[in-house]
Amino acid sequence: MRSDKIRVARIGAAHGIRGEVRLWPFTQDPMDVASYGPLETEDGARTFEIEALRPGKDFLVARLVGVSDRSAAEELTNVELFVPRERLPEIEEADTYYHADLLGLSAVTADGAVLGTVTAIHNFGAGDIIEITPATGAVLMLSFTEAAVPEIDLAARRIVVVPPAESE
């Protein structure tokens, strides 16, 4: 089940007093977030246009149309921004995926044992981490590498995972 909207950024804290915000992009090239047209909330109730964008320290600084003071910027903290899928480029590289397409996939071992469901993809600076939530027990977090996730089958809605004890 493909999502018709892809999350491309999250608004962080206000930056300065003139209404700028910190912006955390989820695009391969961070500056691309400004090239997809108006950004919207997941429910489509609010839209935002990026008027200006510049690099900050570990984030981008964005000026959004209609946000002109710190108070208005503070109200947007943690708002997730989405783009309709049709505005994004088609993926042409093998083994490249939109994170939204991986969420909800069943995670199984090579012999078919179900480990859980993919619930998130994180990146804390050292590469992507895939989060798998089992029906019971602790959440499993693995490096999203070919060694740990050797097979992704979007059509079958599953990934094959090599659990840490097996990959060492």
**Overall pTM surpassing 0.75 (yes/no):** no
**Under a CB-based contact definition with an 8 Å cutoff, are residues 70 and 59 in contact?**
no
**Domain positions in the chain:** 5-87, 99-167
- Give the mean pLDDT of 42-69: 93
Using CB atoms within 10 Å of the CB of residue 97, give its burial: 0 to 12 exposed, 13 to 18 middle, 19+ buried: middle
Model confidence over 120-165: pLDDT tens digits? 888 766 778 899 999 888 899 999 999 999 999 988 999 999 987 7
- Give the mean pLDDT of 65-79: 96
How would residue 65 be classed by pLDDT, with cut points 50, 70 and 90?
Answer: very high
Residue 72 CB neighbours (<10 A): 14
Residue type at position 92:
E
**Under a CB-based contact definition with an 8 Å cutoff, are residues 8 and 26 in contact?**
yes
Model confidence over 2-24: pLDDT tens digits? 568 888 999 999 999 999 999 99
Residue type at position 56:
G
- % of residues, the chain, pLDDT over 70: 95
CATH for the 5-87 domain, from 2.40.30.60, 1.10.10.10, 2.40.50.140, 2.60.40.10: 2.40.30.60
- Which numeric CATH code is attached to 99-167? 2.30.30.240
- % of residues, the chain, pLDDT over 90: 59
pLDDT of residue 122: 80
